[in-house]
Amino acid sequence: MRGQNSLNVYRVIVVALAAITLIALVLLWPDGDRESDLKFGSPTATEKAEVDKVEQVECTVPIENATCLLATFTLKSGPDEGEQGTLDVTSRSSDTLVNAGDDIKVAVITTGGGPPVYSLIDFERGPPLLILAIAFTFLVILFGRLRGALSLVGLAGSLAVVLLFIIPAILDKQPPLAVALAGSMAVMLITISLAHGVGPKSIAAILGTSVSLLLVGVLAVIFTSAANLTGFSSEEATLLSASDSGISISGLVIAGIIIGALGVLDDVTISQASTVLALRAANPKQSIGRLYSRAIDVGRDHVSATVNTLVLAYVGSSLPVLLILGSGEVGFGYAVNMEIVAKEIVATLVGSIGLIAAVPITTLLAALMSGSMDRSELAVAASQGHHH
In eight-state DSSP terms, residue 62 is -
Q: How large is the average pLDDT for residues 163-180? A: 88
Percentage of the chain lying above the pLDDT 70 cut: 82
Question: pLDDT tens digits for 56-99?
Answer: 888 877 777 778 888 899 999 888 888 898 888 887 665 557 88
Instruction: Between 325 and 40, name the one with better pLDDT.
Output: 325
40 contacts 186 by C-beta, under 8 angstroms: no
Those residues with Cβ within 8 angstroms of residue 361's Cβ, 6 or more apart along the chain or in another chain:
207, 208, 211, 212
Q: Where are the domains of the chain?
A: 2-30+144-384, 46-124
138: alpha, beta or left? (left if phi > 0; alpha if psi -120 to 50): alpha
pLDDT class of 182 with cuts at 50, 70, 90: very high
pLDDT, position 93: 63
Q: Residue 32: pLDDT above 90?
A: no
Task: Among 150-159, 167-176, 324-333, name the one with the lowest average pLDDT.
Answer: 324-333
Strand runs labelled E in the chain: 46-56, 67-75, 84-91, 103-109, 117-123
Q: Residue 37: pLDDT above 80?
A: no
Q: How large is the average pLDDT for residues 30-48? A: 63
Most confident of 17-21, 145-149, 201-205: 17-21
pLDDT, position 196: 82
Q: Average pLDDT, whole number, for the chain?
A: 82
pLDDT, position 16: 95
pLDDT, position 387: 44
pLDDT, position 13: 93
pLDDT, position 181: 94
Give the separation between CA 74 and CA 103, rounded to whole angstroms. Answer: 10
pLDDT class of 383 with cuts at 50, 70, 90: low
pLDDT, position 2: 45
Q: How large is the average pLDDT for residues 184-195? A: 91
Percentage of the chain lying above the pLDDT 90 cut: 27
Q: In sequence order, what DSSP letters do the residues of 246-301 get, joined into one string?
A: ---HHHHHHHHHHHHHHHHHHHHHHHHHHHHHHHHHH-TTS-HHHHHHHHHHHHHH
Helix-helix angle 176-196:200-226, to 10 degrees: 160
pLDDT, position 107: 87
pLDDT, position 138: 94
Rounded to 10 degrees, the C-alpha dihedral 208/210/213/214 comes to -120
pLDDT, position 348: 86
Closest CA to 49 of 124, 127, 130, 126: 124
Q: How large is the average pLDDT for residues 120-127? A: 86
Give the separation between CA 202 and CA 224, rounded to whole angstroms. Answer: 32
Report CA torsion sign: 388, 351, 360, 24: negative
pLDDT, position 114: 72
Between the CA of residue 227 and those of 94, 203, 256, what are the distances in Å? 39, 36, 16
Residue 216: count other Cβ atoms within 10 Å of its Cβ. Answer: 30
pLDDT class of 1 with cuts at 50, 70, 90: very low
Q: How large is the average pLDDT for residues 268-287? A: 87
pLDDT, position 376: 63
In eight-state DSSP terms, residue 65 is T
In eight-state DSSP terms, residue 166 is I
53: alpha, beta or left? (left if phi > 0; alpha if psi -120 to 50): beta
Q: Residue 345: pLDDT above 70?
A: yes
Q: CA angle 276-281-286, nearest 5°?
A: 75
In eight-state DSSP terms, residue 79 is T
54 contacts 70 by C-beta, under 8 angstroms: yes
pLDDT, position 137: 93
pLDDT, position 388: 43
